[in-house]
Amino acid sequence: MSNVQHQYLDALGITRWVIRAPAVNPIIETSALIEPAVETKAGGAALMHSAAARGLNKTSAPQKKPALVSRDLSAFDWTALRENIAQCGLCDLSNSRKQTVFGVGNQQADWLVVGEAPGPDEDAQGEPFVNRINGQLLDAMLLAIGLPRAQVYMTNSLKCKPPNNRDAKADEAACCKPYLLQQINLLQPKIILAIGRIPAQQLLQTDTPLERLRGQVHTLSEFGIPVIATYHPDHLLRKPIAKRKAWDDLKLALSVYKQAQ
């Protein structure tokens, strides 16, 4: 891990992600230690950390209540899907959002990171995981297995911010799921990292608690893609003791990814 990573983790008061002898996972033995980097598909463009990229990934707040939009998304490319989401009025969240949060990153990435729902910072900027604290912790988690942001694609299971940062309601998640599935269809990732309870349960179509979903390999039924569930950075900041389990989840995800190559 670089000195820069150490510096901002120390500044946040977060224990460093240190590579130790791998433990045997109940599903897959993590026999390989972390490598310096993980390659992505050839020709993938890094879309993060530039003003131009941030501008491309913002969607403007609607001037009037959006109309209901198409549910048949199978023919939509990235541009059409973004425009469709920006106009979405399928649930009441369209009345309170500033803008939709589509997703950001390498659209040819092997890794898809799915978060829960936009917070105030994401609602303001139109990108997932831009909160200074949990965004930096997520960066550190990914860098610990050799993944800079430029090598992954990030999105949320919910495309609009719920009022008062409450959890998504079942009908809201149901409205957003076709959008997420079409993003997965376009990206065709080799592995999905579900960050938090809501995306894990939404993708796996279950109400099983996150604690029982993490630590094992699941399969996204629609596409046959492996899914690893782990804790959201907000949870790790509230309960640092869970970072060891999250580290085990990341090692498991890396092991599964290497087997898929």
- Confidence tier at 234 by pLDDT (50, 70, 90): very high
> Which range has the worst mean pLDDT, 4-8, 35-39, 107-111?
35-39
Residue pLDDT, tens place only, 48-68? 333 333 333 444 444 444 444
Task: State the burial class of residue 257 (Cβ atoms within 10 Å of its Cβ: 0-12, 13-18, 19+).
Answer: buried
Confidence band for 15, pLDDT divided at 50, 70 and 90? low
Please report which helix (H) or strand (E) contains residue 218, including its range.
Answer: strand 218-220
User: Domain ranges in the chain?
Assistant: 70-260
Instruction: Determine if residue 47 is left, alpha or beta; phi over 0 gives left, psi from -120 to 50 gives alpha, anything else beta.
Output: alpha
Amino acid letter, 90: L
Q: How far apart are CA 138 and CA 113, in angstroms?
A: 10
Domain spanning 70-260: which superfamily?
Answer: Uracil-DNA glycosylase-like domain (3.40.470.10)
Residue 161 pLDDT > 90: yes
pTM of the complete model: 0.75
For residue 113, the surrounding DSSP H or E stretch is strand 111-115
The helix/strand/coil state of 154 is strand
Rounded to whole angstroms, how far apart are CA atoms 36 and 144?
9
